[in-house]
A and B are shown apart, each in its own frame.
Chain A
Amino acid sequence: MIKLFPRYLGSFILLVFVQVFILNNIQFSGYINPYIYVMFILVLPFETPNWLLLIFAFILGLTVDLFSSTVGMHSSATVFMAFLRPYVLKVISPRDGYESETLPQLRYYGISWFIRYSTILIVAHHLILFYIEVFRFSDFFATFVRVILSSIFTIILVLISQYFYRKDTKR
């Protein structure tokens, strides 16, 4: 657990950096805005205590918020996502449960499990995020389209980066 800490700190900084300085400046056709930083919450170890999960999520969201001057927006969405994570893990757990010494990552449980896992959480995160951003229900469908398109892009980015992980974290 402790030995993982520097690696997660590194990935935290890297993800926030990528998010804030690259992806936040990209907006495909006004609709699509991927938020890859949520991957940090996705790949935290199974054994992470739930309360720590929430606190991590809050810190992560707040950091992104501070850089994009939307205090509270990303943090509430990310905290919500972290709240869902234990339940999602329980629902989609493989038949014989999660093995110890493994992480919720593509290379341990395969692509179909990881797509299911990340899709649920990312869509949940984006739903909260985008609806908090517009803060109304009047443009419900326009916002919903944004949620779906952005979620697809985030998932693709997360999958691609999973393959990168695989390469440089080979044991």
Chain B
Amino acid sequence: MRSLLNFLVRIHFLLLFILIEVFSISLLINNNNFHNARFVNFTRQFAGKFYLKTTKLKQYLSLVDENQRLVEENTRLLNIIESSYKSDEIFFRSVNDTIFNQRYRYTSARIINNSINKKHNFLTLNKGSEQGLKSEMAVVSDGSIVGVVKGVSENYATVISLLNLDMRISSKIKKNGYFGSLNWNGEDYQTATLYEIPLHAKIQVGDTIVTSGFSSIFPEGILIGYIVGFEEKGGSFYEIEVRLSTDFKSLDNVNVIGNLLQNEVVELETQALRND
């Protein structure tokens, strides 16, 4: 205590100086508008910079919490978005037939697995028998052909892609109705070949190829692609190169078309065959 007092006595000059100086400057700042404004401005700037620094530090220190929060939010949002609800909704779209109320039923689905680089490509959809999918249903994307449902489980379905050597689609040239069979050539995922178009059919590059509707699977008029080239093969038929309108590389959402009258057609046809 005594040494402290001694110390204070020793530096009383400095202390008094600081005291008086601080007092004068506070007088200065409190009594002069200009100095007051400058001072407030300066302290505000200084405080602003300081706060910025501390905020940055705080943000850095709370990164773990922040990340945790973001992860939780992501999980919550992922749970909300439609794709994580595997099958709680089935979208129906009616196509009015002139004779019957409804012939085709559309169900939306998403592709969860897809391949284009094999000889026998398959797709997997996120809907299955629970959502009304059956085998032998047509799969289209944005009005152009994708494939045919091959097998279904409760919640998933496999689809034979058009890019499959076993796949043959009954198709026709839109402008004149000549029909043939379309088959992928196994090489380029963008081109397929249309066979059995007779030589007397008038065709030219750019003509549209659509499904014929002769199979019980595809409705008539689903877009397949456009003619990019043709040549005579075997004397009586064209072999037509078709550029597919579906981009199999970027497929995502598809519609599955169920033919409500498929059984009836098939039954009738088999009956006719049997009677032959």
Contact = CB atoms under 8 A, between A and B. Distances in A.
Interface stretch (A30-38, A71-79, A106-114, A139-147): A71-79
Given A135-B34, A135-B38, A136-B38, A72 B16 contact: no
Interface in B22-38: 23-32, 34-35, 38
Given A54-B20, A136-B38, A72 B29 contact: yes
A28 interface: no
B13 A51 contact: yes
Contacts of A86: 13
Nearest to B28: A72
A132 B27 CA distance: 12
A27 B20 CA distance: 29
A35 B28 CA distance: 18
Chain B interface residue number, banded: 20 to 34
A38 to B, nearest CB: 15
Contact of A79 (B14, B17, B26): B17
Interface residues of A, number: 22
B21 interface: yes
B65 to A, nearest CB: 42
A134 to B, nearest CB: 9
A98 interface: no
A83 interface: yes
A140 to B, nearest CB: 15
Contacts of B25: 72, 76, 132
A54 B17 contact: yes
A75 B30 CA distance: 14
Contact of A72 (B13, B17, B26): B26
Interface string B26-59: 1111111011001100000000000000000000
B12 A73 contact: no
Contacts of B29: 72
Given A135-B34, A135-B35, A136-B38, A75 B13 contact: no
A88 B16 CA distance: 18
Interface in A106-134: 132
Interface centre among B17, B25, B30, B35 (most CB of A within 10 A): B17
A51 B14 CA distance: 9
Contact of B28 (A51, A57, A73, A82): A73
B9 to A, nearest CB: 11
B27 A75 contact: yes
A50 interface: yes
Interface in A62-100: 62, 70-73, 75-76, 79-80, 82-83, 86
Given A50-B13, A51-B13, A73 B20 contact: no
Interface of B: 12-14, 16-17, 20-21, 23-32, 34-35, 38-39
Interface of A: 50-51, 54-55, 57-58, 61-62, 70-73, 75-76, 79-80, 82-83, 86, 132, 135-136
